[in-house]
Amino acid sequence: MTDTADSSMNIHEILDHLPHRYPFVLIDRVVSMELGKEITALKNVTINEPFFPGHFPYHPVMPGVLIVEAMAQAAAVLSFKTMNLKPNEESVYYFAGIDSARFKKPVSPGDQIVLNVKIDRVLKGIWKYIGVAKVDGVVVAEASMMCILKNI
């Protein structure tokens, strides 16, 4: 299924398609999306992030695992939209695996991360993605991720 019509999403639409809530929502806007293929989303990094006081007080750096989490959240939005589903209290979208994660450059307050996530394949309910995060056109992180939608 592919569709590019009305492919951008504001934060209200994102929250409608993502089970996460503050302080763990890590995408602010969807710039573009092609259902069944890929999504490009933004994360605006501010000094007000709850992790910066401890990571690190004198040189704030966004934890790499949270950059990967932001890519996974973009993947979740893409998957929910592709399946024409919305998250609910009866299901959870879990990480099933992270491979080949690489962190190439620190991300600091004031940066805007552009997250591009592509569906690599879907097999037996397991979705595999390739994610790349960039700041100012420079790759800061990349990873292969697997996720699964489970009923609870």
Residues with Cβ within 8 Å of residue 4, at least 6 apart in sequence: 32, 33, 34, 35
Q: Which residue is catalytic, options 12, 17, 55, 59?
A: 55
Query: Tokens at residue 8, please?
Result: 């951008």
55 assigned to active site:
yes
Question: How many Å from the N-terminal Cα to the C-terminal Cα in the chain?
Answer: 27
**CA–CA dist 31, 51 (Å, integer):** 25
Would you name the residues annotated as active-site residues?
A: 55
